[in-house]
Amino acid sequence: MKRLSIFVSGGGTNLQRIAEYFAENPEVEIANVICNNPNAYAIERAKNLNIPCKIINRAEFKSEELSKELLNQKIDLIVLAGFLWLVPQHLIDAFPNKIINIHPALLPKYGGKGFYGEHVHEAVVAAKEEYSGITIHYVNEHYDSGDIIFQAKVALEEGETPDSLAAKIHTLEYKHYPEVIEKLTIDN
């Protein structure tokens, strides 16, 4: 069995979708949720899904104790699902090519510090891009610069707004993120 740890900061819609996707799969278990925002709705989602959730502050996140704890729990893959903090080197070292993230744009465009959620969609619409999409990538010591695992794109239409684009991006996330996670857990 492959054990996942899902890191969240916000609403947890990707957490919900991933949990639903793997609910009937005995080969994949969401072992825990790590959240850096005590007010995140994702905490309630984890509770409703009966997944243990740990709320951490910056000091705990930067402490090597977190890596030790996850290694002791035999975590196979760390999945960032709307997690907004830069991952510290101790986690990257403890889980080489075992931490993935989903970004709501076609990297390398519209990535890096400050480019998350609606900020990305606003920038894409303002630039009158023809396409946007999602990028699933490995996590390294820089925001949104790890090796790309998967991308899917969607066309922007006349009159596209950041909100309408966000809805399209969410559809791509909910479809593809669980599938890529499944492929990575099977292949490793």
**Options 90, 103, 142, 170, the catalytic residue:** 103
Specify the pairing of strand 99-103 against strand 28-35. Answer: unpaired
- State the first-to-last Cα distance of the chain, in angstroms, to the nearest integer: 11
Angle at CA 79, nearest 5°, toward 165 and 179? 65
pLDDT score at 36: 97
Spatial separation of the C-alpha atoms in residues 7 and 34, rounded to whole Å: 5
User: What is the enclosing helix (H) or strand (E) of 31?
Assistant: strand 28-35
Q: Are 28 and 4 in contact (CB under 8 A)?
A: yes
Kind plus residue range of the DSSP H or E element containing 94: helix 89-94
Q: Helices 13-22 and 162-187 sit at what angle, rounded to 10 degrees?
A: 40
Q: What's 37's DSSP letter?
A: -
The overall pTM is greater than 0.85: yes
Q: Which residue has the tokens 């991933």?
A: 18
Residues of the chain with pLDDT below 50 are none
What is the biggest distance separating any 2 CA atoms in the chain, rounded to whole angstroms? 51
What are the residue ranges spanned by the domains of the chain?
2-107+134-151+173-187
- What pLDDT sits at residue 188? 62
The three-state secondary structure class of 111 is coil
Is residue 103 annotated as a catalytic residue, yes or no? yes
CB neighbourhood size of 52 (10 A): 13
pLDDT at 119 (0 to 100):
95
2-107+134-151+173-187: CATH architecture: 3-Layer(aba) Sandwich (3.40)
Which two three-digit tokens encode residue 106? 């076609």
Tell me the CA distances in angstroms from 153 to 40, 106, 132, 173, one per residue in order.
28, 7, 6, 11
Rounded to the nearest integer, the mean pLDDT of the chain is 96
CA–CA separation, 147 and 185 (whole Å): 17
- Span 140-154, pLDDT tens digits: 999 999 999 999 999
